[in-house]
């Protein structure tokens, strides 16, 4: 698929993404070709549902409890309407924004999404290539399926960030942060809403946690500190008593764990290390005891800007900046953590007011289109993180699918900007919206 945006010409890309994307699609249509994946989020998800197995689909689509937060995230967008203005010469538009010293093609990043190997063999690597080609920052997940160094290696100078889960091992946290710096990450995103996994009925009913099968733990198995912890654990492990008869699922799980551990599969199948890696991960991946007082420790260990993800209260946002943080991401984790949470977009205005331009406020949860990006930016988000839609694009068409989702969202954002009478992102404010419910 020929998407004409490459990192090198991202400024040109910024200056007319919508028209160019439409041209490409309609010209190809003359020859009977259709877009590789659906261009609207709802159809994209429906197609991905058909393509994926039930466990993989449920893992990505699912949320906490009754999934009221997911519905609230979407309903919050529906309560705002854009009020277009006319006769304002919008022939030339610039969708670019600056974030931490980088000019980006639009107010868009790819958020951290873990365990992508569930939906596509190339997982994060395909996403990294697509993000780099578009110049859109990719936030490497702490639960990625591909080590950050391998993703960075295919991205050239393109922007990337790292998302951290605060492990119970400070040494591991330091190691991950050091690796993120070495891999050229521009910022750290510390996710605070997942100190424990939320109550997720779809996964519970499938008895399915990807990490327990060795999926989504590549940042760990590639980490020298983590590997030392695994080796210690394997040595210390008690000889095991009689085991239950292995089921097919258990054998498949063991093979999955063996694949996740570096080295030849045949050796790993005989080694206690892959299994010890999963056990070690489950024991240390997050620390529910973290408090504000831990932030100074992290601040003193990195020169990178730090953003806190999962902030939904104005007081927390204010406190984050007082503690030396460089930004916040207003997020409900896509409704995967707390059911009946306030929607991210509903929380945004208070957080923006509290931050009062001292630092960038980003938003995710429920962003499905360029019009959604427009709405969030008008309400004060400096940029938004795309989540599930790019995972669906990946599921359906790998790197090209992600590339198309990025091009479609940025394309629609560009057209919405122009069609509402604007030529630059900094012209947006709550004045361009009306609350309709
Ligand atoms: C399958 C899946 C895996 C995710 N993994 C992570 C993760 O590893 N780290 C993280 O901070 N957020 C993770 N998130 C949350 C996203 O970063 C983001 O907050 C969320 O997807 C936004 O909601 P939306 O996709 O409905 O727009 C994940 C989300 C999904 C759907």
**pLDDT tens digits, 91-126:** 999 999 999 999 999 999 999 999 999 999 999 999
Active site (annotated) includes residue 6: no
Report the pLDDT value the prediction gives residue 8, as an integer from 0 to 100: 42
The model's pTM: 0.96
Give me the pLDDT at residue 3, please.
40
pLDDT of residue 246: 79
Q: What would you measure as the largest C-alpha separation in the chain, in angstroms?
A: 79
- Give pLDDT, residue 15: 56
- Kindly state the average pLDDT of the residues 159-171: 98
What is the structure's pLDDT at 227?
97
332-357: buried (b, 16+ CB within 10 Å) or exposed (e) per residue? bbbbbbbbebbbbbbbbebbbebbee
Can you tell me the mean pLDDT for 318-329?
Answer: 98
Q: Is 365 in the pocket of ligand 1 (CB under 6 A)?
A: yes
- Of the pLDDT bands very low, low, confident and very high (cuts 50, 70, 90), residue 238 is low
Query: In whole angstroms, how far apart are CA 408 and each of 108, 122, 426?
Result: 12, 22, 21
pLDDT: which is higher, 249 or 343? 343
Q: What is the mean pLDDT of residues 6-23?
A: 67
**Minimum-distance ligand 1 atom for the alpha carbon of 118:** 1
Residue 141: CB within 6 Å of ligand 1? yes
CA torsion through residues 371, 376, 382, 386, sign: negative
Residue 179: is its pLDDT beyond 80?
yes
Q: Whose CA is nearest to atom 19 of ligand 1?
A: 333
Helix or strand holding residue 78 (H, E): helix 68-78
Of the residues 196, 218, 333, which should be mutated to test ligand 1's pocket, given the most ligand atoms within 8 Å of the CB?
Answer: 333
In this structure, the number of other CB atoms found within 10 A of the CB of residue 281 comes to: 23
pLDDT digits (tens, 9 = 90+) for 253-279: 999 999 999 999 999 999 999 999 999
- Nearest protein CA to atom 4 of ligand 1, as residue: 113
The answer, yes or no, to whether any atom of ligand 1 lies below 6 A from the CB of 337, is no
Rounded average pLDDT over 238-253? 78
Q: Of 106-120, 159-173, 241-255, 347-361, where does mean pLDDT reach its minimum?
A: 241-255
Given the CA of residue 112, which atom of ligand 1 is nearest to it? 17
Cα distance between residue 244 and residue 241, in whole Å: 10
The residues, any chain, with a CB within 8 Å of residue 336's CB and separated by 6 or more, are 62, 63, 64, 198, 200
- CA–CA separation, 265 and 243 (whole Å): 23
The CA-CA-CA angle for residues 65, 68, 73, to 5°, reads 130
Average pLDDT, the chain: 95
Instruction: Answer whether residue 9 shows pLDDT above 70.
Output: no
Number of Cβ within 10 Å of residue 278's Cβ equals 24
Q: Give the per-residue pLDDT at 429.
A: 98
For the chain, the domains span 7-196+287-435, 213-284
Q: Is 119 in the pocket of ligand 1 (CB under 6 A)?
A: no
Q: 239 falls in which pLDDT band (50, 70, 90)?
A: low
Q: Which pLDDT does position 240 carry in this prediction?
A: 64
**And the tokens for 239?**
């000889």
Spatial distance between the Cα atoms of 110 and 99, rounded to a whole number of angstroms: 14
Residue 405 has pLDDT above 50, yes or no: yes
Could you tell me the pLDDT band of residue 237, with boundaries at 50, 70 and 90? Answer: confident
Report whether pLDDT(192) > 90: yes
Long-range contacts of 247-256 (CB under 8 A, 24+ apart): 252/213, 253/212, 253/213, 253/214, 256/213, 256/214, 256/215
Quick check: 4 pLDDT over 70? no
User: Parallel, antiparallel, or unpaired: how do β-strands 327-330 and 97-99 relate?
Assistant: unpaired
Cβ–Cβ < 8 Å for 100, 186? yes
Lowest mean pLDDT among 214-228, 251-265, 301-315: 251-265
Looking at the chain, the number of H-run helices and the number of E-run strands are 19, 12
Q: Could you give the CA distance from residue 28 to residue 74 in angstroms, rounded to a whole number?
A: 32
Average pLDDT over residues 26-48: 98
- 388-419 and 54-61 are packed helices; what angle lies between their axes, rounded to 10 degrees? 50
Domain 7-196+287-435 bears CATH identifier 3.20.20.70? yes
> Residue 148: what pLDDT?
98
């Amino acid at each position: 698929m020929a998407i004409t945006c490459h990192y090198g010409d991202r400024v040109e890309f910024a200056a007319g993404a919508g028209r160019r994307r439409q041209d490409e699609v309609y010209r190809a249509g003359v020859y009977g070709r259709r877009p590789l994946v659906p261009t609207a989020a709802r159809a994209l998800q429906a197609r991905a549902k058909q393509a994926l197995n039930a466990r993989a689909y449920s893992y990505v689509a699912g949320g906490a409890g009754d999934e009221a937060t997911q519905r609230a995230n979407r309903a919050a967008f529906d309560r705002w309407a854009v009020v277009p203005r006319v006769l304002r010469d919008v022939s030339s538009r610039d969708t670019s924004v600056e974030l931490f010293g980088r000019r980006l093609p639009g107010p868009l990043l790819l958020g951290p999404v873990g365990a992508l190997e569930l939906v596509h063999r190339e997982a994060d690597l395909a996403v990294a290539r697509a993000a780099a080609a578009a110049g859109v920052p990719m936030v490497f997940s702490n639960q990625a399926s591909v080590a950050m160094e391998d993703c960075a290696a295919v991205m050239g100078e393109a922007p990337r960030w790292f998302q951290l889960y605060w492990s119970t091992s400070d040494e591991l946290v330091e190691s991950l942060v050091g690796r993120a710096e070495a891999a050229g990450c521009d910022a750290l995103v510390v996710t605070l809403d997942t100190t424990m996994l939320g109550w997720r009925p779809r996964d519970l009913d499938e008895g399915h946690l990807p990490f327990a099968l060795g999926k989504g733990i590549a940042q760990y198995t590639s980490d020298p500190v983590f590997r030392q912890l695994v080796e210690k654990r394997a040595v210390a492990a008690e000889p095991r008593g009689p085991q239950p008869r292995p089921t097919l699922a258990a054998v498949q799980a063991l093979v999955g764990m063996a694949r996740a551990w570096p080295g030849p599969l045949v050796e790993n199948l005989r080694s206690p290390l892959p299994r010890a890696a999963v056990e070690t991960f489950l024991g240390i991946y997050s620390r529910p005891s973290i408090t504000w007082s831990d932030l100074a420790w992290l601040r003193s260990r990195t020169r990178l800007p730090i953003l806190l993800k999962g902030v939904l209260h104005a007081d927390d946002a204010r406190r984050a900046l007082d503690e030396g943080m460089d930004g916040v991401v207003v997020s409900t984790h896509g409704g995967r953590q707390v059911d009946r949470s306030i929607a991210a977009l509903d929380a945004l205005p208070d957080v923006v007011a509290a931050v009062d331009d001292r630092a960038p406020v980003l938003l995710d949860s429920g962003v499905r289109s360029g019009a959604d990006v427009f709405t969030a930016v008008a309400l004060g988000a400096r940029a938004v993180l795309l989540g599930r839609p790019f995972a669906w694009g990946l599921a359906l068409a790998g790197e090209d699918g992600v590339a198309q989702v990025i091009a479609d969202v940025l394309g629609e954002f560009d057209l919405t900007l122009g069609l509402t009478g604007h030529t630059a992102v900094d012209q947006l404010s709550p004045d361009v919206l009306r609350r309709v419910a």
